[in-house]
Structure 1
Amino acid sequence: MIGEDTFLTNAEEQYLADAITTLETEVFVDGLGYDHFRALDENEVSREVWQEYVSRMGEAGFNCISVPEEYGGPGGTILQTVLAEQAIGYCGNIVHACQTSLTQHVGRTMYEHGNRHIKETYLEPMASGDLVVSQAYTEPRSGTDIAHLETSAERDGDEWVVNGEKRFIDFAPYADFYFTPVRTGGEDGDRDGVSIIVIDRETGGIELVEDQSDWHGFRGTGASWMQFDDVRVPEENLVGAEGEAWAYITDELNLEHLTVARYCLGASQQALEIAANYTANREVNERPVSRYQAVNHKIAEMTTRLDGAYLLNTRAARIMDDRGVSAGRMESAMAKWLGNDLAHDIADTCIQIMGGIGTTTSYPIEQIQRDVRAGRFMGGATEVMKSVVQSDAYKELLDEEFDGDLVGNEREGLPWLNVDQQPARTRDE
């Protein structure tokens, strides 16, 4: 927030401030600083680096924030979760925020639906920072359309045998385990029959068949095309009930909508602050660029819209804290759509008002602009979010007393007025 945030309590504002301080002084230092950020953008990273990052985040209490302490988490709130993600995007790089975000929504799903084995073997070590997680959702022929996933798992005694392919899987080369939706029953397109299985990295039959990390931005995750060939997984690695993961996944995505939007907004705020300072110090025709209305009005517009996006995100987080992660579907979709589109717009506008220097590596804005572009499709594309909003908005907006028979026959009366409120007809009528 640039203006005063009346949606946050004093304790919540302090949590955000403390998170930024911790990240700047304890996490993004000693090998994980600026040179590391540039190395990520060049895809020059290692499994050891990501292990060091998740370890520091675990020590700082930023992994699995809403998971109770008895299962290894800090026992925080969804709102604290999004505030921490904002801080990570602001202080670090959004790929850092993405890895930590995975611990938030994957961890929440494990906590709510996982058995004791899942919680002890994967959830608690992930929360402490001992394990790196990867979420293997997207497939060559299905992305957000998970009902048409083709990766399957069949029972063979006390094991599951997994076959199929996944692509664009972030952290695939670095992860200790893969949180993987599979079809265990039903027909193609059915919501019933979708399950989630946790697959260890070292399990035989897993192959990374293509490096897909040379993206427009959002580099450093080692994104990969994966192949599962008769991968054998213990029966107890099933998360929740067999064939009932559709609801788990939609709830998880509901939370992911908020984390993805929030960390991209945090990154865009860093870009906005740099641009404001640059234009206040850069002189053209003997006056600061910030004195030109074409520039300072853009700063005003971006500041106002950024605050609005933060408030939408906070509202949705509060709804989830009050009623669970399945609540606030429309509100989280609003926050995702507006937040991620805005984050990219802010970063791009910052480049425009800074001019050519904004496109160089002298400032991180060009990398932020490329990175946050991915947010517009990660965890659900803008267009999908609009479809969610329109569906739920119509349910809220439609009025049973609206007289549809009068649509096109407005001379007979106005459809949006009750019968008792209809205007009196003239003598000619």
Structure 2
Amino acid sequence: MKRSFLTDDHEMFRKSLRKFLEKEAYPFYNQWEEDRMIPRSFWTKMGKQGFLCPDLDEKYGGSGVDWGFSAVINEELERVGSGLVGVGLHNDIVVPYITGYGTEEQKQHWLPKCVTGEIITAIAMTEPGTGSDLANIKTTAVLDGDHYIVNGQKTFITNGIQSDLVIIAAKTDLNAVPKHKGVSLFVVERGAPGFSRGRKLDKVGLHCQDTAELIFEDCRIPRENLLGEEGKGFIYLMEKLQQERLVVAIAAQAAAEEMFRVTLDYVKSREAFGRPVSQFQNTQFKMAEIATEIEMGRVFLDSLITDHMAGENIVTKVSMAKWKLTDMAKKIAAECMQLHGGYGYMEEYEIARRYRDIPVASIYAGTNEIMKVIIAKNLGL
């Protein structure tokens, strides 16, 4: 199927990236899962080959290409495994906050090292008692001379252990009305006094992706590490969530396509009652249903990527895509595991890993229930 936003340059880039991943990622991915960590050396290799933040301006070390190249990166990383989600978060979720709201001095200071992989980034919004309700976060930042003093705790932070630079949301005005006007964003660097890592969280899936708790105890952050204007943090977060949710939708679609591919190969080769499993009508119907869902998802997703690259507002449709495609991927994971029979429950088969990796996509970047709230609100309900 010809894809609307892809050019020959994108396809050449994909071939180069795939060749790189076949050498540097696929052979080691199972070991990374066992180690519960992706080595920093992989990040620097990605940077050296131009696979980190390619859409950044050349003056910051990027390639200055369109966002279609980032879409290709997210697809190919997901085909390796969902645990590589932290790279997409770095490229397309965290770094855009710096490019969008940072001062020129901040950009010059941090962005070049984000491109090389010397700096790994994270974003810390979620707290132990606060998920999607960002207006009610408890972390505070109080100005004290040339520093802000930050106190609070964050959890479920992707890249939490390895991150060198973390964008955090904190309350700078506890009395703001409405409450969201009291939220500001700050950049916290590794080694900041009072900043520590808590547990590396033991997740059901995404084993190689380091997820952690972050702790701020009278953490001193230089005043110049305020990102954008004080009190506008909530607005900044809302403005950037469109791309974050699109990244999640891209990963869900790619995962669904990958699960279909491995299952198609399996049912063709596996025999039962003297013939391939693929010859049974139930298998054929299930595979036909999955193929149809995937095809419809791909067409919708590609139209969204095209519109996003054109600068259009796709908040409603991207909310639809985020919930629908992640929900679809969960259902496909269950169907494909069933079609693998007992082998689908064995760790050496890829479908088992996919089955445990996929469900969280319907939770992070805003739960699917929140997506439906957004859709309903924008429908005028």
TM-score, normalization by structure 1: 0.83
Partners in 1 of 2:49 and 2:240 — Cα distance? 23
**How far 1:249 sits from its partner (Å)?**
0.6
Give RMSD over aligned pairs: 2.0
**How far 1:304 sits from its partner (Å)?**
1.6
The residue number in structure 2 matching 1:330 is: 316
The residue number in structure 2 matching 1:45 is: 37
**How far 1:355 sits from its partner (Å)?**
0.6
Match status 1:309 vs 2:297 = yes
Runs of 4+ more than 4 Å apart = none
Structure 2 residue corresponding to 1:374, chosen from 350, 360, 368: 360
Classify the secondary structure of the residue corresponding to 1:168: strand
The residue number in structure 2 matching 1:73 is: 62
Partners in 2 of 1:250 and 1:295 — Cα distance? 43
The residue number in structure 2 matching 1:406 is: none
For 1:287-298, list aligned pairs within 5 A. Answer: 287-298=275-286
CA contact (8 A) 2:33 2:207 kept: yes
Structure 2 residue corresponding to 1:114, chosen from 102, 106, 116: 102
Q: Cα 1:318–1:344, aligned 2, differ >3 Å: closer, same or farther?
A: same
Match status 1:162 vs 2:157 = no
The residue number in structure 2 matching 1:400 is: none
Q: Which runs of 5+ in 1 are unaligned?
A: 396-429
CA contact (8 A) 2:90 2:120 kept: no
CA contact (8 A) 1:206 1:228 kept: yes
The residue number in structure 2 matching 1:33 is: 26
Partners in 1 of 2:22 and 2:239 — Cα distance? 31
Aligned residues: 380
The residue number in structure 2 matching 1:420 is: none
**How far 1:17 sits from its partner (Å)?**
6.2
Classify the secondary structure of the residue corresponding to 2:188: strand
**How far 1:6 sits from its partner (Å)?**
4.6
Q: Cα 1:179–1:154, aligned 2, differ >3 Å: closer, same or farther?
A: same
TM-score, normalization by structure 2: 0.93
Bigger radius of gyration among the two: 1
**How far 1:56 sits from its partner (Å)?**
2.1
Partners in 2 of 1:17 and 1:145 — Cα distance? 42
Q: Which runs of 5+ in 2 are unaligned?
A: none
For 1:159-198, list aligned pairs within 5 A. Answer: 159-187=147-175, 190-198=179-187
The residue number in structure 2 matching 1:362 is: 348
Letter in 1 for 2:168: T
Partners in 2 of 1:205 and 1:115 — Cα distance? 25
Partners in 2 of 1:123 and 1:310 — Cα distance? 32
Letter in 1 for 2:33: D
Partners in 2 of 1:190 and 1:374 — Cα distance? 28
Q: Cα 1:124–1:350, aligned 2, differ >3 Å: closer, same or farther?
A: same
Partners in 1 of 2:166 and 2:101 — Cα distance? 16
Partners in 2 of 1:357 and 1:9 — Cα distance? 37
Partners in 2 of 1:235 and 1:75 — Cα distance? 30
The percent identity for this pair of structures is: 25
Structure 2 residue corresponding to 1:150, chosen from 135, 138, 143: 138
The residue number in structure 2 matching 1:422 is: none
Letter in 1 for 2:327: D
Structure 2 residue corresponding to 1:388, chosen from 359, 374, 378: 374
CA contact (8 A) 2:89 2:122 kept: no
Classify the secondary structure of the residue corresponding to 2:204: coil
For 1:252-331, list aligned pairs within 5 A. Answer: 252-323=240-311, 327-331=313-317
CA contact (8 A) 2:88 2:247 kept: no
Match status 1:5 vs 2:2 = yes
